[in-house]
Amino acid sequence: MEESHLDAEALCQSCFEPFGQLEDLRAPFVIACGHVICLGCLNTDVFCCGICGAPFERQIYSRLLDLNDNPTKILFDSNQLAQQLQESIALVNDHTAISHIQHLYERARRFVDSQPRNRFKDLATSVCLLGCLLQSKETLKAHSRFSNNLTERIHILQSERQGLLARIDELDRQKCDHASIMLQLPNIMRRNPDVMHSSNSRSMKH
């Protein structure tokens, strides 16, 4: 089979969907008859070409055509890929970034969905557990973000409370000063009769 390449807008000759990149289920493959189909169409229970009906062996390597015009030969082995995904999932721990877990979950879920039902039960279970872990981490992250926002709001309210208490103390001091002046006012008036006379004169005029 000759080396070849695809145009960026090429379609799968079986499902007529646009081809994707190498890690995608839409990655292009050349099968024995020479037709080009995507990984999703290749990875089915039907071992014959959907265009011409020619049989092919799925586990024997097909030529993967890179959309960047770099044809590469690979061995397409679902069992090997399932094992790799299972090992990657096993490495996930509490310190694994959510973005990495999400990427791994989406990749593994797509792979399991592309396989015949119950073919990789252990991997399907691991994917389900990984999805639960991802959901838990996202929920925990949301709660943590809410807690941080709440803590920040509490600090703001505490600062405002301190400001109000300081203002109340200032008003109390002013009130005490005013009361002290009012208590001293009679003595001041007795010591300064002119002030009293002036005050009475103004009152009579009014």
Mean of the per-residue pLDDT values of the chain: 75
> 78 with 114: CB under 8 angstroms?
no
78-111 pLDDT, tens digit per residue, is: 677 788 889 889 998 888 888 889 888 988 888 8
> 29 with 51: CB under 8 angstroms?
no
Using CA atoms, how far apart are residues 99 and 185, in angstroms rounded to an integer? Answer: 76
189-206 pLDDT, tens digit per residue, is: 777 766 555 555 555 555
> 36 with 2: CB under 8 angstroms?
no
> 140 with 166: CB under 8 angstroms?
no
The size of the chain, in residues, is: 206
136-182 pLDDT, tens digit per residue, is: 988 988 888 889 889 999 999 999 999 999 999 999 888 888 888 88
Between CA 24 and CA 13, with CA 119 as vertex, the angle to 5 degrees is 40
Q: Is this model's pTM higher than 0.75 or not?
A: no
6-50 pLDDT, tens digit per residue, is: 655 667 777 767 777 666 677 787 777 777 788 777 777 666 776
Summarize the confidence of residues 109-117 as an average pLDDT. Answer: 79
Q: Are strands 28-30 and 36-38 parallel, antiparallel or unpaired?
A: antiparallel
